A = this chain, B = another copy of it.
């Protein structure tokens, strides 16, 4: 029994969007790559835009699930932050296509199609955690939005760096681990 056609479409779309961009990828090509008929795409997604947004939401959820799964049950605050940071970067490493798609999406006019409270909800757990760290006096007392943005951007930078290098996985892990310590120096 083969994969769901909806999933086949999402997979095909992901691959092609990353390679050719949203507008460089006709829906007909997505259908072809997925091995389904042209109209089938529109059976599952009312419009091309809806497909793009659905793909983003799907990826976002998968990544969040991965990060939380891998970072739960740490003893200290620092351990928790570190594991989340590492998990994010490991996930990005193992899901290059998804990561690059998400970056492309976030820098496109499509982002405005995500309801602001949905975005809000997705960052809340991180904000809450940072607030706790501040209350416990472990990290600097700064607005959590600022801290979160700085951490995210730092991770983003590391990823960009990896894209322009050809490191082994081991070396990448090393860099990630080092970079966290730099980040931590900044936060405390």
Contacts and interface: CB of A to CB of B under 8 A. Distances in A.
Contacts of A187: 182
Interface in A156-174: 156-158, 160-161, 164-165
Interface in A110-169: 140, 142, 145-146, 149-150, 152-154, 156-158, 160-161, 164-165
Copies in the complex: 4
A108 interface: yes
A146 B187 CA distance: 19
B146 A153 contact: no
Contacts of A142: 178
Contact of A107 (B20, B104, B161): B104
A107 B107 contact: yes
Q: Dominant SS at the A interface?
A: helix
A62 to B, nearest CB: 20
B145 A153 contact: no
A109 interface: yes
Contacts of A164: 145
A149 B175 CA distance: 13
A134 B41 CA distance: 54
**Shortest 3 CB-CB distances between A and B: which pairs?**
A153-B157, A23-B23, A107-B107
Interface of A: 19-24, 103-104, 106-109, 140, 142, 145-146, 149-150, 152-154, 156-158, 160-161, 164-165, 175, 178-179, 182-183, 185-187
24 contacts: A21-B108, A22-B23, A24-B109, A104-B107, A104-B108, A140-B182, A145-B161, A145-B164, A145-B165, A146-B175, A149-B158, A150-B158, A150-B161, A150-B179, A153-B153, A153-B154, A153-B156, A153-B157, A153-B160, A156-B156, A182-B186, A182-B187, A183-B186, A185-B185
